[in-house]
Amino acid sequence: MKEMIYQTVCPGCNMGCGLYIRENDEGTVAIDFMKSSPANLGKLCRFGMQLPHHYSKATSMVDGVESSIDDAIQAASTKLKGAKDVAMLSVGATTSEEHLAFTKVADALGTVVNTGMGTYAELPPECHATVGHGIPLEDVEQASKIALFIDPYTQYPLIVRRLLAAKRSGASIIAVGPKEIKLADETKHIGPDQYESELGLDSESLIIADVHPHSDPEHVKHLLNLALMTGARIMFMKPFVDSTGVHLLSRGTGQKGLQEIMDGINEGSIKTLVTLDSDPIELMPNGVEDILKKLDNLVVISSRNSPVTRLAQIVIGTEPLYAKAGSFMNVEGQMLKNSGSSSIGIDALSTLAQNLGGKAFDCQGLHTQVLENVVKEYTGPKYKKLSCEMMETAPEEGKGNLINVYNPFMWFDQPDDNDFVMVNMNTVKSLGLRKGGMIALTSNGGTLKIRYAVAEVPDGLMLTNKKLPITTGTCTVVTAEGC
Amino acid sequence: MVAVGDMLVGYATDGGVRKRGASGGLVTAVLAAALEKGLVENVVVMKHINEFEAVPIITDDVEVVLASTGSLHSVPVNLAKYAVGRKVAMPAKPCDAQAVIEQAKRGMIDLDNTYVVGLNCGGSMHPVTTKKMLVEMYDIDPEDVIGEEIEKGKLIFKTKDGNEKGIAIDELEEAGFGRRDSCRYCTIKIPVNADLACGNWGVIGDLAGSATFCQVMNDKGVRLLENAIEAGRIEVQPASEKAIAIREKVNTAMVNLGNTLEGKILTEIPDEARIQYYLDQMANCIDCGACKEVCPVCACGEDSKCTMFHSLVDDYSMSMYHLVRLLHLSDSCIACGQCSDVCPSDIPITILQSRFAIPAQRKREYTPGMNVDETPPFFEVILK
């Protein structure tokens, strides 16, 4: 049996964890550890260990019928020629080169590529570099004090070892959020107006937060203000393999948020949606299928089958991410290259661009442009000091007592054993929950019976690491009873 | 004629292989001949990526075997699982050979179909730590490194400009670099559990640096060597008494050092502090399962005791997964260090396992992976 071995990067988030993918001639995929990878030393999180389940061969389809990729490209060209009210979406779940190719298709259509990160549009452009670039991961280990606004274990697990290394070097870590974080010296359930007084940060401190398609811009502003007031450095973790790369490649193109796109479809101002390795059904709360059905045209370009490929009129199925020629930029600004040499996706986009009146391009040329656009201005991991003024802020959103803790399994709708909610002991007692029993949750989205785990969370609050069928957003108002 | 117990010194007959392969290319040539003459269908080799990275590949191509990398101290991979289900020849550190034998005890590897060419091992290093060490201790740009070796207690790096620099391993380890923890307290340095036990210890005189000392451990070792001689790929000669004595002297020094370091690394924990110690060490586990996946002696597959009694929804102070593994592996852990290497939370799992396994194994005078006929003391099922 022959085996292909690819050096690639885990698509679970923007940490840039290197690994090997072994693919045999029967198409079976296995992971192997790349111990020389600087971001992760070969170590992988729960999601990385489950990667073989994540990859699924994408099938080209036209109107629900399996087709050749060429026929799918032709059908997409026909649909898109002269199409109006087009939105294009690429969140950064593919290579920088493919994303750039996608922007050239957008040029041909007279539109732009949205990354779904609506938060950027709400922030002053002068702070985009700080939000977008992050800091060298090794610097996390050098910080004297760290304020954590993420759940590192669940959301970005490979940051855990960096935080532990910082602790060993004497750093104090304060977590801010609804859940007790074991590695933190203290976990505080505080609001933005208490950040400055309660956290005691200074210029030797580091704030670690995240920015993702559902981030509340007001929350990000509060944290940026905190960094400005205290002189602390701030680092934003990100959810997709090339989140940093697509941010740098897409500057100035609008950065329409996912919700804004969905609202546009709902209101009829967007009639055609073209996606590149970005599945709104996976990325959004429940109920998006009904919105997507309102589209005149849904064209999906994807390296794997996912819920949206079942809904699309046209699917252009490309090669798996690990097999693509191309590069990614991780959260600290390291450019990481795939060893794969396939250009099926880029060639498809080139043909599509030409059919729409654009110019042809190839993988090597795109890589050169990526280097010019990204690396030329960004010469490696280095913190971009905040250069904006203090921002006016409003109260943060997020009214609800069931909170989704976003993580790779949730972004990619992958099976996981996170099928429970976390509640505190007071909730257990007040609802009369039995050990090993279930809790019944009811929201506008329906009722769900689910297992529960006891955790240190504030009274009345429930957390879930899984997108549950009854959730309607990042926070959902639910009523609970024992069952 | 070659016989079990022979102590030989040999090298590849092909000048290129002899020059490129470590210590005269004997191991590479033996593996190539095993494939060429049909002794095996595949060979496990390390494909060279760079001086700090190689990836195991399974090949049926003699040229790929001949082009494979020599031993790299900074590529700490255990190769046993790559042999599962195959008729294969493979190079093996002592812990690779131990894992092969443990897999054989569990019915996953057929030793009749698996030829193990053992390599002496003084220990391996993590690649990223090694690069950092080069910068901080050697003042060498990792990109300039073209080779490395361990000689007389020193770790020596050769650079593109033809220079080399060596620093005592003791000094490196005191500075927090050097070998992985589990390698430091390992006491199996010559792979006498393999079919052939090869290495450069005891290669002296004109042959120093260009030949391999080879001890024939069993009938399969005889077949491997005779096969390679018949194929014209190697030449061997008896090792001198002096060479044999030097090899043993190096081994004794390494084993003694391992024993000393075991006491320093696996320090005594008072009874009253023991539970808290394990709770603290495992507090940051993220339940990735990588330690089980990478364990070269584990043959349980997805359906196993450690996962059966573990669930994310449980709120036990210590995970059942780890508790079951500590007990389950206590008679079988070979302290290869793979679990610590891949732990995303940097939990020193190998050390935790060793704290359970070493006393348990010593009490029963049992060392895993040394003899396929020795049943692990806690084996529940004997595979016939």
pLDDT per position as a tens digit, B181-213: 999 999 999 999 999 999 999 999 999 889 999
CATH class of the A1-55 domain in this structure: mainly beta
Q: Other CB atoms closer than 10 Å to residue B362's CB: what's the count?
A: 10
For B239, what's the count of Cα atoms within 13 Å in the CB-facing half-sphere? 29
- Report the residue count for chain A: 483
pLDDT at A392 (0 to 100):
87
Angle at which helices A192-199 and A217-230 pack, to 10 degrees? 30
pLDDT at A355 (0 to 100):
97
Please enumerate in sequence order all residues whose Cβ is within 8 A of that of A433, keeping only pairs 6 or more positions apart, or say none. A423, A427, A439, A452, A482
| CA gap B43, B86 in Å, rounded | 9
Q: Classify the complex by whether its ipTM is higher than 0.90, answering yes or no.
A: yes
Strands A402-404 and A113-114: unpaired
| CA gap A94, A10 in Å, rounded | 11
Instruction: Kindly determine whether residue B315 and residue A7, on different chains, have CB atoms separated by under 8 Å.
Output: no
Which has the closest alpha carbon to A87: A68, A62, A109? A109
pLDDT in tens, A132-178: 888 899 999 999 999 999 999 999 999 999 999 999 999 999 999 99
Mark residue A63 as left, alpha or beta (left: phi above 0; alpha: psi -120 to 50; beta: remaining): left
pLDDT at A84 (0 to 100):
87
Q: Tell me the β-bridge partners of A297.
A: A272
Tell me the percentage of chain A whose pLDDT exceeds 70. 98
pLDDT at A133 (0 to 100):
81
Burial B197-230 (b: 16+ CB within 10 A, else e): bbbbbbbbeebeebbbbbbbbbebbbbbbebbbe
| CA gap A359, A369 in Å, rounded | 15
pLDDT in tens, B316-363: 888 899 999 999 999 999 999 999 999 999 999 999 999 999 999 999
| CA gap B39, B45 in Å, rounded | 16
What architecture is the A60-116+256-375 domain classified under in CATH? Answer: 3-Layer(aba) Sandwich (3.40)
* Whole-Å CA distances, A418 to A47, A152, A407, A476: 12, 16, 11, 18
Domain over A123-237 is classified CATH 3.40.228.10 = yes
pLDDT at A134 (0 to 100):
81
What is this structure's pTM?
0.94
User: Would an 8 Å CB–CB cutoff place A48 in contact with chain B?
Assistant: yes
Instruction: Identify whether the C-beta of residue A77 lies closer than 8 Å to the C-beta of residue A357.
Output: no
> Does B250 or A384 have the greater pLDDT score?
B250
Instruction: Kindly determine whether residue A33 and residue B49, on different chains, have CB atoms separated by under 8 Å.
Output: no
The predicted model gives A367-386 an average pLDDT of: 77
Instruction: Kindly determine whether residue A157 and residue B286, on different chains, have CB atoms separated by under 8 Å.
Output: yes
User: Would an 8 Å CB–CB cutoff place A228 in contact with chain B?
Assistant: no
Instruction: Identify whether the C-beta of residue A105 lies closer than 8 Å to the C-beta of residue A88.
Output: yes
Which has the closest alpha carbon to B355: B269, B249, B279, B242? B269
Angle at which helices A96-109 and A344-355 pack, to 10 degrees? 10
Instruction: Kindly determine whether residue B344 and residue A33, on different chains, have CB atoms separated by under 8 Å.
Output: no
Instruction: Identify whether the C-beta of residue A185 lies closer than 8 Å to the C-beta of residue A157.
Output: no
User: Would an 8 Å CB–CB cutoff place A42 in contact with chain B?
Assistant: yes
| Range with the poorest average pLDDT among A350-364, A385-399, A409-423, B84-98 | A385-399
User: Would an 8 Å CB–CB cutoff place A227 in contact with chain B?
Assistant: no
CA distance B377 to chain A (A): 31
| CA gap B58, B76 in Å, rounded | 17
Instruction: Kindly determine whether residue B313 and residue A20, on different chains, have CB atoms separated by under 8 Å.
Output: no
For A438, what's the count of Cα atoms within 13 Å in the CB-facing half-sphere? 8
Burial A102-112 (b: 16+ CB within 10 A, else e): bbbbbbbbebb
Q: Give A378's pLDDT tier (boundaries 50, 70, 90).
A: low
* pLDDT above 80 for A453: yes
Strands A18-24 and A29-33: antiparallel
User: Would an 8 Å CB–CB cutoff place A7 in contact with chain B?
Assistant: yes
Please enumerate in sequence order all residues whose Cβ is within 8 A of that of A153, keeping only pairs 6 or more positions apart, or say none. A160, A181, A182, B284, B286
Strands A172-176 and A145-148: parallel
pLDDT at B280 (0 to 100):
94
Instruction: Identify whether the C-beta of residue A22 lies closer than 8 Å to the C-beta of residue B55.
Output: no
pLDDT in tens, B23-82: 899 999 999 999 999 999 999 998 888 888 889 999 999 999 998 866 567 788 999 999
Residue indicated by tokens 């490696």 = A380
Sheet holding A438-443, edge to edge: A475-476, A402-404, A462-464, A420-423, A446-454, A438-443, A479-482
User: Would an 8 Å CB–CB cutoff place B50 in contact with chain A?
Assistant: yes
Instruction: Identify whether the C-beta of residue A310 lies closer than 8 Å to the C-beta of residue A413.
Output: no
Instruction: Kindly determine whether residue B52 and residue A34, on different chains, have CB atoms separated by under 8 Å.
Output: no
* Amino acid letter, residue B272: E
* Amino acid letter, residue B233: R
DSSP 8-class letter at A41: T
Structure token pair of residue B152? 């007389």
pLDDT in tens, A249-297: 886 666 789 999 999 999 999 999 999 999 999 999 888 999 999 999 9
Instruction: Kindly determine whether residue A160 and residue B57, on different chains, have CB atoms separated by under 8 Å.
Output: no
Structure token pair of residue B283? 């507090």
Host H or E run for residue A47: helix A46-49
User: Would an 8 Å CB–CB cutoff place A36 in contact with chain B?
Assistant: yes
Q: Give B119's pLDDT tier (boundaries 50, 70, 90).
A: very high
DSSP 8-class letter at A57: B
Q: Other CB atoms closer than 10 Å to residue B169's CB: what's the count?
A: 21
* Whole-Å CA distances, A392 to A193, A210, A212, A225, A227: 13, 20, 21, 9, 14
| CA gap A187, A177 in Å, rounded | 7
* pLDDT above 80 for B296: yes
On chain B, the residues whose CB falls within 8 A of the CB of A157 are 286, 288, 344-345
* pLDDT above 80 for B299: yes
Strands A61-62 and A65-66: antiparallel
Host H or E run for residue A196: helix A192-199
On chain B, the residues whose CB falls within 8 A of the CB of A33 are 77, 290, 294, 341-342
* pLDDT above 60 for B382: no
User: Would an 8 Å CB–CB cutoff place B289 in contact with chain A?
Assistant: yes
Instruction: Identify whether the C-beta of residue A293 lies closer than 8 Å to the C-beta of residue A317.
Output: no
Instruction: Identify whether the C-beta of residue A148 lies closer than 8 Å to the C-beta of residue A174.
Output: yes
Host H or E run for residue A121: helix A119-122
pLDDT at B152 (0 to 100):
79
Mark residue B373 as left, alpha or beta (left: phi above 0; alpha: psi -120 to 50; beta: remaining): alpha
A296: exposed, middle or buried (Cβ count in 10 Å: 0-12, 13-18, 19+)? middle
The structural domains of chain A, with segments of one domain joined by +, span: 1-55, 60-116+256-375, 123-237, 402-482
Which has the closest alpha carbon to B235: B2, B10, B6? B10
Q: Give B147's pLDDT tier (boundaries 50, 70, 90).
A: confident
CA distance B272 to chain A (A): 23
The predicted model gives B305-325 an average pLDDT of: 88
Average predicted confidence (pLDDT) for chain B: 93
The predicted model gives A452-475 an average pLDDT of: 92
Please enumerate in sequence order all residues whose Cβ is within 8 A of that of A360, keeping only pairs 6 or more positions apart, or say none. A350, A353, A354
> Does A477 or A473 have the greater pLDDT score?
A477
Q: Which of B47, B52, B281, B284 to mutate to test the interface with A (most CBs of A within 10 A)?
A: B284
Host H or E run for residue A187: strand A186-188
User: Would an 8 Å CB–CB cutoff place B343 in contact with chain A?
Assistant: yes
Reduced DSSP (H G I as helix, E B as strand, rest coil) percent helix, strand, coil of chain A, to 5:
35, 25, 45
DSSP letters along A246-270, please? HHHHSTTS---BHHHHHHHHHHTS-
Closest in B55, B313, B344 to A32, CB measured: B55
Instruction: Kindly determine whether residue A36 and residue B127, on different chains, have CB atoms separated by under 8 Å.
Output: yes
Same fold, B127-178 and B267-363: no
Residue indicated by tokens 């669940």 = A154
The predicted model gives A224-239 an average pLDDT of: 96
On chain B, the residues whose CB falls within 8 A of the CB of A32 are 55-56
The fold adopted by the segment(s) B127-178 is: Nuclear Transport Factor 2; Chain: A, (3.10.450)
* pLDDT above 80 for A38: yes
Instruction: Identify whether the C-beta of residue A277 lies closer than 8 Å to the C-beta of residue A412.
Output: no
Please state which CATH number belongs to domain A402-482: 2.40.40.20
User: Would an 8 Å CB–CB cutoff place B314 in contact with chain A?
Assistant: yes
- Give the phi and the psi of residue A415 in degrees, each rounded to 5: -60, 140
pLDDT at B71 (0 to 100):
58
pLDDT at B261 (0 to 100):
95
SS3 letters across chain B: CCCCCCEEEEEECCHHHHHHCHHHHHHHHHHHHHHHCCCCCEEEEEEEEECCEEEEEEECCHHHHHHCCCCCCCCCCCCHHHHCCCCEEEEECHHHHHHHHHHHHCCCCCHHHEEEEEECCCCCCCHHHHHHHHHHHHCCCHHHEEEEEEECCEEEEEECCCCEEEEEHHHHHHCCCCCCHHHHCCCCCCCCCCCEEEECCCCCHHHCCCCEEEEECCHHHHHHHHHHHHCCCEEEEECCHHHHHHHHHHHHHHHHHHHHHHHHHCCCCCHHHHHHHHHHHHCCCCCCCHHHHHCCCCCCCCCCHHHHCCCCCCCCCCCHHHHHHHHHCCCCCCCCCHHHHHCCCCCCHHHHHHHHHHHHHHHCCCCCCCCCCCCCCCCCCCCC
| CA gap A353, A73 in Å, rounded | 10
The fold adopted by the segment(s) B267-363 is: Fumarate Reductase Iron-sulfur Protein; Chain B, domain 2 (1.10.1060)
- The angle at the Cα of B11, spanning B9 to B12, to the nearest 5 degrees, equals 160
pLDDT at A250 (0 to 100):
84
The structural domains of chain B, with segments of one domain joined by +, span: 7-124+184-258, 127-178, 267-363
Which has the closest alpha carbon to B367: B334, B318, B340, B338? B334
- Max Cα-Cα span within chain A: 66
